[in-house]
Chains A and B, each alone.
Chain A
Amino acid sequence: MARRVEAGGRLIDRARPVTFRFDGRRMKGFAGDTLASALLASGRVVMGRSFKYHRPRGPVAAGAEEPNALVSVGTGARRTPNLRATVVPLAEGLVAESQNRWPSLDLDVGEVNALAYRWFPAGFYYKTFMRPRALWKHLFEPAIRRAAGLGRAPERPDPDDYEHYHHETEVVVAGGGVSGLAAALAASRGGARVLLVERAGWWGGRAPTDGAEIDGRPAEAWVRGAVAELRASPRVTMRLNAELASVQDHGFCLVIEDAAANGAEGGLRERLWKVRAGRVVTATGAIERPIAFAGNDRPGVMLASAVRDHLDLWGVAVGRRAVVATVCDDGYRTALALKGAGSAVTVVDARDAAGPLRAEAEGAGVSVVAGAAVWDVLGRMRVKGVRVGAVDGSGEAREIRCDAVAMAGGWSPVVHLFSQAGGRLVWDDEGAMFRPDAARAARGADGEAFVIAAGTANGELRVGAALADAHGAGVLAAQEVLRKPCAASAAGSAPVGVDAEEAALRPLWTSPEGMGPEAASHAFVDFQNDVKVADVRLAAQEGYESVEHAKRYTTLGMATDQGKLSNVVGLAILAEARGAEIPQVGTTTFRPPYTPLTLGAIAGANRRELFKPVRRTPMDAWHDANGADWEPVGDWRRPFCYRRGEETRAQAVEREILATRGSVGMLDASTLGKMLVTGPDAGLFLDRVYTNMMSTLKPGRCRYGLMCDEGGFLFDDGVVARLSEEAFLLHTTSGGAGRVHGWLEEWLQTEWWDLRVWVADVTEQWAQVAVVGPKAREVLERLGGMDLGREALPFMGMAEGTLGGMPARVYRISFSGELSYEVAAPASRGQALWHALREAGAEFGITPYGTEALHVMRAEKGFVMIGDETDGTVTPLDLGLGWAVSKKKDDFLGKRGMMRSDLVREDRLRLVGLETVDPAAVLPDGAHAVEGRGRARRTIGHVTSTYRSPTLGRSIAMALIERGPERMGETLRFPVKGGVVKARVVAPGWYDPEGARQDV
């Protein structure tokens, strides 16, 4: 039975009991416990069910690598699924639930899957659900989706806060064990700025647990001294509860910090650090490997190191009678620890060699079965015993009764961080492990290796060698970032570590070797995903020889633990099945993050009202208070329409259009991009970037212009006003302003640097209001201050002056076909301008209108809209805008592009207008026109804009149709949901085609 013992428990405070709930039951632990240690202390070993077979599972590890004990923690909106119970700190009132079981953890209906394991081999889904195809969509997929997934996502928004934090440092050290501390000491003494992060809530890692001595003191004492020195250093930043989650190109790292655990207030839960480091030292230690014997997943079978950790850190003994299965001397450390806690212990050692640790254990009363292996485990919900026999599987097995099994299968350095940015590994035969290859580490911007593995993580498993290696890593990091060799002397000498001598390890990839098929079907490699020895063998047999293919076929290493325990064992079994050497098989790719990040941490502060920056015009508050129904336009929000009372959107749009055409309307046009272009060569420059001629424009006049990319495709349009001989103001689309600004700068900086031209984006300097409709002039005249009469300010003219006491620029341009002025005032006066126009227009019933009314009115005129009629594949000629493409200019951007054969094809899609045969039927946007029947049926184009026009009292649309202008009068068929809409091809432009209304 697992139980709390008097010995050990360095992390718990026995004077501070903590109550919590697990699956509804009230339980007790101590401050400093993890959820797993508290449950074990209460005798609760089964903590979860496996993913595929629903086998009962207890914790196998004591850290972040735990694959089995996945729980949901918290309730309601704060419930977080799939947390590893071994790293969840126990807190008063904590509520945890087990997962993947129904109706309860101890009685789970899904366990029938386990009985059917013969029918769930590797690749089961691929093989079974291929045919018949129709069943996939309606039966297989929905059923599999219901059964898939671990835990339940919370149903309500996360109430907590998260934040990001940027940090620049010279050296980041991942891992606060003795190696990490030694590396940080060396680097900081050498003069480097250091960030030291440790995933757990304490410093020192496993060295104190394993009984090492450093500089003549117990490891724990040395750790205290090292931490004190680092704390005192002005160059060092230290964080516990902070995991280096990823190492990416050029020293960019993510660190996830449990801010709440570190004392953050006000609901701040996690802080994601975005770190830029010159050198990354990975001192992430090593993870012990399980041993693949039948029943190795039974609750009560744990890694030997985890058994030891639970005793030393939390005072929990996992069994009264334990068997330690080992392939190396490390198993004896666990045997000694258990013995010391009063348990009876038998070590089953695959070797005959005797080192000092074995002698010590035997002296303490531990019985040793040498040259033997565990064949299988007895018991279902709980270990009842093991069967032990020869390592090679020959002869008979004998039974040893026990209630816990510890697996000491050797150690694998945690190479994830070293490998994430491209570092390569090398196979170490002696340690039977992959270790970092310093010669092939990931390289940074300076062309030099920027990731340095240190200590145990570098494959130095003995404390003396680990400390020397880590010290060297710290010195190297400091020297490289400081670009001077003096760091070595400042760093002092490496700490001297001493631990027990160890005899050589004997790799044992299956236990026993050459395990038979029945045992292989119960010997687990990947615990969380239920991948067994038999599955890996089957994958090899079926030809999945590449480790990447075998991984995906068997799902080995694809669970939430990403194969932290299973990787090397799985590779070794695959190699054995292929008759290859392990290094030939290689490893799968190590991808960030090391452990899963929460979505909250990734989002940081970018949620709720900060989800995305929203650009607001100077009149935004007025719109919001007056019924604006918003729509996003680029990053701006603009009123789609203003709804009054019970009005629908459609009714509001219709009212706005009729009021504007009937009298006068006003539109907030501040979002239009505005580029100031100055200099003696400004005219020449604009001739090159617009398709039409701009240099001939007279000061005080406006001209509509098109911008194409080099390919000849239209990407922006707008009105250019010439302010003076050497200054132009370019209007761009609202969403395209940034792109146009970048486009102009790019050409000036990279190609036409000889031009004397300067550009400034002054979009936000100006508030702009379009005053539109037959009464527009009268409204502006009521404001007074400028002569806006027909002669003084003709169509396509502009004037600067003072309007209603405000400095203003007035452009007489029209996107609606009405008499229209766009009035610009400095942005701080925007709201005042808006109010003044509302007052001046009150007697004419001046009506604010939104973007939809703007769109409908321009469509009634047949004007194109960038983004509706264009999609990056459309030229001005396709849109019938040939009049705005100069034939006189030698060159302009897009000129040669437009000459390409494909762009002058006669059967290109060209712009036409459409009138539905039924005037009340409105075509859906994007509807396709088709011709021909049966196999000959094909699409000949699509609708680009479509509206109900209140002005015309019918539906109108614009479309890009193959040979469109040649089809005038033809009736096209548009198949839509529930039938076919027929529409007649007409010339675009219905309203006032002569343009008389705008020129009054």
Chain B
Amino acid sequence: MSDRARPATAERLSPRGMVALRAAPEAMAGVAEAAGVPDPGVRRWEGAGDRALVWMSPDERLLICPRWDAAALAGALAEVAGLAADVSDMRAAFRVSGPGARDVLAKGAAVDLSRAAFGEGDVRRTHVAEVAAMIRGTGEAAFELLCFRSVEDHLARWLELATLPGRAPAVL
């Protein structure tokens, strides 16, 4: 078993800056402009330089940025957004990548993860392995998984199990 490759690898990502943004839907374009990233479409994310803006709901976005920029960005964006808070410490992130990454995530999430339905730039807020999580498509066979920090260990253990070799359903 050990000499076989895992269908996907899961690695914890080092902490990034995150800013929670809320504003009226019609004001979101202005918030995105102030953040320096195009406003993403529904269930999408957009990147610009070292920043990414993630669609969370019609009136909520999450700005991902370098850690050291978060506090200042939160302060500046509070001028245009209804709420802007530095939440860099709130979440943990994993990168799940490899040929079986879609199958691995489908073990835990009730989301259509087929190539046709979910690609790079797509985002889904859902449950993975029974905990609230966000899946972000970052490549053809690469995803970022965000969860709250209190359940980071739970998700890490689940990923360890779900990526064991010889168990990929090999569907997606």
Contact = CB atoms under 8 A, between A and B. Distances in A.
B164 to A, nearest CB: 5
A158 to B, nearest CB: 15
Interface stretch (B32-40, B41-49, B103-111, B137-145): B103-111
B16 to A, nearest CB: 12
Interface in A811-841: 826-829
A973 B23 CA distance: 58
A678 B166 contact: no
Contact of A164 (B20, B90, B107): B107
B114 A168 contact: yes
B22 A265 contact: no
B131 interface: yes
A827 B110 CA distance: 30
A84 interface: no
Interface string A204-225: 0000000000000000000000
B91 A764 contact: yes
B167 A610 contact: no
B149 A764 contact: yes
A636 B151 CA distance: 10
Contacts of B87: 760, 762, 765
Interface in A592-644: 605-606, 609-610, 612-618, 636
B82 A758 contact: yes
Contacts of A130: none
A237 B154 CA distance: 31
A679 B129 CA distance: 35
A756 B59 CA distance: 12
Nearest to A767: B89
B15 to A, nearest CB: 7
Contact of A163 (B81, B114, B162): B162
B83 A259 contact: no
A237 B170 CA distance: 10
A760 B157 contact: no
B107 A605 contact: yes
At the interface, is chain A mostly helix, strand, loop or mixed? mixed
B83 A679 contact: yes
Contacts of A747: none
Interface stretch (A266-274, A299-307, A322-330): A266-274
Given A259-B167, A266-B167, A764 B148 contact: yes
Nearest to B106: A166
B166 A265 contact: yes
A764 B154 contact: no
Contact of B165 (A165, A168, A265, A759): A265
A166 B167 contact: no
A161 interface: yes
Contacts of B76: none
Contacts of A193: 114
Contacts of A676: 83, 85
Contact of A264 (B109, B131, B153, B167): B167
A612 B165 CA distance: 24
B167 A268 contact: yes
A751 B58 CA distance: 17
A167 interface: yes
Interface string A248-289: 000000000001000111101001001010000000000000
B130 interface: yes
Interface residues of B, number: 46
Interface string A752-772: 000011111010111000000
B92 to A, nearest CB: 10
30 contacts: A163-B161, A163-B167, A165-B169, A166-B108, A168-B112, A168-B117, A193-B114, A264-B166, A265-B165, A266-B1, A266-B167, A276-B110, A605-B158, A606-B130, A614-B151, A617-B150, A676-B85, A678-B82, A757-B82, A758-B22, A758-B81, A764-B90, A764-B91, A765-B85, A765-B87, A765-B89, A765-B90, A827-B89, A827-B149, A828-B15
A613 B151 contact: yes
Interface in A142-183: 161, 163-168
Nearest to A749: B59
A989 B87 CA distance: 39
A612 B153 CA distance: 12
A923 to B, nearest CB: 35
Given A265-B1, A276-B110, 12 more contacts: A167-B106, A168-B117, A264-B166, A265-B4, A265-B166, A268-B167, A605-B108, A616-B153, A756-B82, A758-B23, A762-B20, A828-B88
Contacts, number: 124
Contact of A760 (B83, B169, B171): B83
Contacts of B106: 165-167
Interface in A726-768: 756-760, 762, 764-766
- Which of A167, A265, A762 neighbours the largest number of chain B CB atoms within 10 Å of its CB? A167
B98 to A, nearest CB: 17
B161 A610 contact: yes
Interface size bracket, A side: 35 or more
Interface in B18-76: 20, 22-23
Interface in A891-945: none
A766 B90 CA distance: 8
Contacts of A762: 20, 85, 87, 90
A432 B140 CA distance: 55
A764 B117 CA distance: 32
Given A268-B167, A610-B158, A613-B130, A826 B89 contact: yes
- Which of A161, A612, A616, A679 neighbours the largest number of chain B CB atoms within 10 Å of its CB? A616
B104 to A, nearest CB: 10
B145 to A, nearest CB: 14
A165 B90 contact: no
A612 B157 CA distance: 12
A605 B162 contact: yes
Contacts of A678: 82-83
Contacts of A613: 129-131, 151, 154
A605 B161 CA distance: 8
B149 A166 contact: no
A729 to B, nearest CB: 10
Nearest to B155: A613
Nearest to B82: A758
A274 B112 CA distance: 11
Given A265-B166, A616-B153, A765-B89, A760 B22 contact: yes
B37 to A, nearest CB: 19
Given A166-B107, A676-B83, A826 B150 contact: no
B157 A167 contact: no
A830 B19 CA distance: 20
A75 to B, nearest CB: 23
B1 A615 contact: no
B107 A165 contact: yes
A265 B154 CA distance: 23
Given A610-B129, A764-B148, A826 B88 contact: yes
B150 A764 contact: yes
A227 to B, nearest CB: 17
Contacts of A259: 167
A828 B89 contact: yes
Nearest to A259: B167
A266 B149 contact: no
Contacts of A636: 150
A636 B154 CA distance: 12
Contacts of A758: 22-23, 81-83
A762 B82 CA distance: 15
A193 B171 CA distance: 12
Contacts of B158: 605, 610
B89 A166 contact: no
B130 A265 contact: no
